[in-house]
Structure 1
Amino acid sequence: MSKPVKTEAELIAMARAELKAHLDCPEGIMIAVLRDGDSWEFRAKADELTVAKPGYPECVAMLVQIGDHLSKQYDVG
């Protein structure tokens, strides 16, 4: 059975909402969807100032967990 399909923008919006609900992430984190065959995951990118801010590593770790969770529920279209 196939999973529901979401756009990259929808998945990123869902990830941002979950991050906001769980952590106080610094502004400036860019989230991208990285596709690999039939699977996908989130990638975070930020400038040096954002990376140096408190909470950045925790937000990236949480983003990975959110991506694992969402990739089991949705395909990217």
Structure 2
Amino acid sequence: MSKPTKTEAELVAMARAELKVHADGPDGIGIFVVTTDDGWEFRTEADEETRARPGYGESVAMIVQIGDHLSKQYDVAG
């Protein structure tokens, strides 16, 4: 049974919405979808100022967890 597909933009929007509920981190974290042999995962990017703000590490860890959860439910649209 195949999983439903979402676009990269939809997956990132879902991650941002869930992140707002669970973590109080800084704005300015870029979230990207990277496809792998096993499916897909989120990667993050931020400037030095954003990385230095309180809650950055927690937010990145939460994004990884959200990606793990979503990748079990959805495939990324190619």
Structure 1 runs of 4+ aligned residues shifted over 2 Å read: none
Gap regions ≥5 residues in structure 1: none
Shift in Å, 1:44: 0.7
Gaps of 5+ in 2: none
RMSD, matched Cα = 0.7
User: Structure 2 counterpart of 1:16, which letter?
Assistant: R
The amino acid of 1:53's aligned partner reads: R
Identical-residue share of aligned pairs (%): 71
Give the TM-score, by structure 2 length.
Answer: 0.96
Displacement after TM superposition at 1:37 (Å): 2.7
Question: What TM-score do you get using the length of structure 1 for normalisation?
Answer: 0.97
Instruction: Tell me if 1:43 matches 2:43.
Output: yes
| Paired residue secondary structure (1:43) | strand
How many residues align? The count is 77
